[in-house]
Amino acid sequence: MKRTIVAIVLLVAGMSGIMSVDAKYYDASASEVYVCTGKYAKKYHNDYECKGLQKCSAEIITLTVEEAEKRGYTKCKICY
Ligand SMILES: [Zn+2]
């Protein structure tokens, strides 16, 4: 009986391990941000539907946060 419990505990631990890997993968994709390529756009956005982004008359591209900051964009106050 004890062995069965140990096996279940190990199984649950293993499953949560897999889930935390999934969560990491999700975080990595969530670090992509939306940037308006218009002349006056200075912000990067977390939300594609953001009001600030809807004012964009140019192309909207996705970048990683690192890349967006490298290009001089700062966090949007509306969606962050
Ligand atoms: Zn925004």
Distance 9 CA to ligand 1 centre (A): 43
Q: Which residues of 31-54 are buried (b: 16+ CB within 10 A; e: fewer)?
A: eebbbbeeeebebbbbeeebebbe
Cα of 68 vs centre of ligand 1, distance in Å, is: 13
Structural domain range at position 10: 1-30
Instruction: Supply the mean pLDDT for the chain.
Output: 82
Tell whether 7 and 39 lie within a shared domain. no
Cα 49 to averaged position of ligand 1 atoms, centre (Å):
8
Global pTM reads 0.63
The token pair at 30 is: 């969530």
How far, in Å, is the centroid of ligand 1 from the Cα of 22? 26
Same domain, 10 and 36: no
Q: Is the pLDDT of residue 20 over 80?
A: no
One domain, residues 25 and 62: no
pLDDT confidence band for 45 (50 / 70 / 90): very high
Q: Are residues 26 and 43 in the same domain?
A: no
Would the pLDDT of 14 be above 90? Answer: no
